[in-house]
Chains A and B, each alone.
Chain A
Amino acid sequence: DIQMTQSPSSVSASVGDRVTITCRASQGISSWLAWYQQKPGKAPKLLISVASNLQSGVPSRFSGSGYGTDFTLTINSLQPEDFATYYCQQANSFPLTFGGGTKVEIK
C-alpha cells in the first residue's frame, strides 16, 4: 500500500499569510494526487486533482505542484474561510489512501 505523509499536522497562520502544506508518497505516484478541504461537520471538498489541476470554482489563491513522491499545496493570502483541515490523496493504485491531514488554524 502507498503511504501518504502530510506535514505539518497543524499550522497557525494569520489572514493574508502564505501557507504551504507538503505531502510525500511512499513510492512514486506520477501526478496522481488530489487535495481536499474539510470544514468541521462538513464533507470534504475537492480543491485540486492530478497534482495541479484547480477545480472549477476554487479560488486561484490555491495551487498545487509536484510529481513522483513530493507534492505541495500552497494557499496564497490566506482568507478567513480557508481555516480548515486539508488532506492529500493518492490515486495511483488501490487501496486509495489519504494523508493524515493538516489543520490550518488562526494565529
Chain B
Amino acid sequence: EVQLVESGGGLVQPGGSLRLSCAASGFTFPSYWMTWVRQAPGKGLEWVANINQDGSATYYVDSVKGRFTLSRDNAKNSLSLHMNSLRADDTAVYYCATWSDSSGSFDPWGQGALVTVSS
C-alpha cells in the first residue's frame, strides 16, 4: 500500500523555524517527483514546492522562496521541508504528495501536518 506520512508540525512563533518530514512507503520513492501543498484554515489549496527525482531541481511558490528549502533522502525514502522566518500566513495544513511529471497531477497525498505560526 502506498503511504505518505507527514510529521513535524506544531506551534511556532513568528520568525521561527520548523522542519516537516514525509515518510514514503509502498512505492519506488526515488522514481517520483515529490511536492508539498498547503491549505490555510478554511481556505483553498496552495502549491508550495516540488523536487525532482534526484533532488537536483526544486521549484517554489514565490511567497516561500528564500525561506523554505525542500530536500529528499532517497536512501531513507524521506522528504523534508525546512521552513524559516515563518509568518502568520504560513499557518496551514501541509500535505506531502507525489507529483506526476507526465500528467502534472498530485497523487497520492499524505494525511497532512498542521503548522501554526502564532505568538
Contact = CB atoms under 8 A, between A and B. Distances in A.
Interface of A: 32, 34, 36, 38, 43-46, 49-50, 53, 55, 87, 89-92, 94-101
Interface in B98-119: 100, 103-112
B47 interface: yes
Interface of B: 37, 44-47, 50, 59-62, 95, 100, 103-112
B44 A100 contact: yes
A99 B100 CA distance: 19
A38 B105 CA distance: 15
A87 B105 contact: no
Contacts of A98: 44-47
12 contacts: A34-B103, A34-B104, A38-B45, A46-B108, A49-B103, A49-B104, A49-B105, A50-B103, A89-B105, A90-B104, A95-B62, A99-B44
